[in-house]
């Protein structure tokens, strides 16, 4: 196993984010989404996390964060390839709205924050 702790996984996520900000490419985006999607599972099984952090993970992933739902759906689509939708009208994004102050998850040690920033709404 390349990453042994949720902290190492989070460090990978930060590196991918910075690479994407410097030079966007679909390979890093794919890796970023897969890594972000795996973070809650890694954190659930990390004995160094306190209960408050575990509760925050639960709220972020289960109780309907739109950011999480988008990430999870894209990651699952990448893992479980299905044929393109046949017939009907293609799905289109009509509008996107961003709202400051999205939910956050704290990691131990230096207490970095995951998921803080904007909530994105897609119509």
Contact call for residues 119 and 67 (beta carbons, < 8 A): yes
For residue 15, the model assigns a pLDDT of: 92
Range 59-74 average pLDDT: 79
Q: What is the pTM of this model?
A: 0.60
In contact, 65 and 102? CB cutoff 8 Å: yes
How large is the average pLDDT for residues 115-120? Answer: 59
Other residues' Cβ atoms within 10 Å of the Cβ of residue 30:
14
> Per-domain residue ranges for the chain?
6-85
């Amino acid at each position: 196993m390349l990453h042994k702790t949720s902290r190492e996984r989070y460090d990978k996520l930060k590196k991918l984010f910075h690479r994407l900000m410097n030079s966007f490419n679909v390979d890093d985006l794919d890796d970023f989404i897969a890594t972000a999607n795996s973070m809650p599972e890694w954190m659930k099984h990390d004995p160094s996390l306190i209960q408050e952090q575990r509760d925050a993970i639960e709220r972020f992933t289960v109780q309907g964060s739109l950011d999480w739902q988008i990430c999870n759906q894209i990651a699952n689509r990448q893992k479980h390839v299905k044929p393109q939708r046949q017939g009907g009208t293609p799905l289109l994004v009509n509008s996107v709205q961003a709202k400051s102050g999205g939910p956050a998850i704290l990691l131990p040690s230096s207490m970095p924050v995951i998921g803080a920033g904007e909530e994105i709404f897609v119509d």
